[in-house]
Amino acid sequence: MAKITGKYEVLYIIDPAQGEEGIAALVEKFKAMVEAEGTLSSIDEWGKRRLAYPINDLAEGYYVLMNFESKPEFPAELERVLKITDGILRCLTTAVEE
């Protein structure tokens, strides 16, 4: 039988050059997107951290971790939007086992 909903987590890194307002706007954008398609369990802003390796000549990034429940099709759409959004350096979506 097909799963109706699943638990997922997405970690994304925002370019700190966006400034506080830009970062807050991006976090709110993806929070609203998740809430429209599923249930947001938690959002954890880790803040500015040093990257393990330079991305686009940047040494730091602003990390955000979101846990949510949604239909299985939604995480692929969320990741697609994250990848085409200016200011997002990297993203990783994983299914969480219960």
Q: Domain for residue 1, yes or no?
A: no
Q: Domain of 18?
A: 6-95
Q: Domain for residue 74, yes or no?
A: yes
CB-side neighbour CA atoms (13 Å) of 43: 15
Q: Domain for residue 44, yes or no?
A: yes
pLDDT of residue 97: 84
pLDDT of residue 1: 45
The one-digit pLDDT tens for each residue of the chain (98 residues) are 456 888 999 999 999 999 999 999 999 999 999 999 999 999 999 999 999 999 999 999 999 999 999 999 999 999 999 999 999 999 999 999 87
Domain count, the chain: 1
pLDDT of residue 3: 64
Q: Domain for residue 45, yes or no?
A: yes
Q: What are the strands of the beta sheet with 88-95, ordered from one edge? A: 38-55, 58-70, 6-14, 88-95
The pTM score is: 0.90
